[in-house]
Chain A
Amino acid sequence: MTEPNSTDPQLQSFIFAETQKQRFQVLVHGLTDKCWETCMGRPSNRLDSRTEACITNCVERFIDVTTFITKRLMNTTKYRSDSPLEFQ
């Protein structure tokens, strides 16, 4: 018998890939929710070009905001691993 905790490389890479895919899916669910609220009027026969453009911008800007906030937080917070996180 092999070591009880040994991980199978094939399963490991399968789980890794599926986790990545699922993270993407979760983000798409969330972004669709937000951008639908922001962009969608009354549902019609098709997505009109204005709504499409709004959704595209909504996704792009949301990512920009996340990136911006991440950068700014990294620059403005003093993080010390030996004490609780402080925000200043």
Chain B
Amino acid sequence: MNSNRSKPHGLLAEFHTAADIFEAAMRCRDAGFTKWDVYTPFPIHGMDEAMGLRKSPVGWFTFCGGFTGFFTGMTMIWYMNKFDYPLVVGGKPLFTPLYAFPVSYEMTILLSAFGTLFGMFFLNQLPKFYNPLFKNERFKKSTDDRFFLCIEATDPKFGTDVTRTFLTEKCHAAVVELVED
């Protein structure tokens, strides 16, 4: 990692109001940047659209989890009660979706929740133990009263000087800092 010391992580722009960063996000979106993100102390309504974010695909993980849960529940009860160890309880049939339903339903919810949580982790590449932004002193205010926008160096449109000019002049950033990797 030592050899990468001087490699830039990206340009960190600081803003003082939600309106400023909202405007800046729209400009970054329209300038065609792809590897960038916004860090704010609280959620800003409409930021998803301003950043041009697609709808999150996490719902598909939820659906797959729920689907798996439902059929796991049904299959498990069928296997245990009808196939592996047939046992009459309360004069009820050995298997019917009716009594398997409450368990399958709970399994649906459980695995949907797992699908959502772990799908989100997967899509966000979590857990991530290190991010160069954490080293930046100024960035600590992103949980207080400052709004940050970081364009990463891996972005194909990134160029240290050009992007710095873009952030200060077009986006009216208060401060622009180069963050090293």
Interaction A to B: no
Q: Which B residues form the contact surface with A (CB < 8 A)?
A: none
Q: Which A residues form the contact surface with B (CB < 8 A)?
A: none
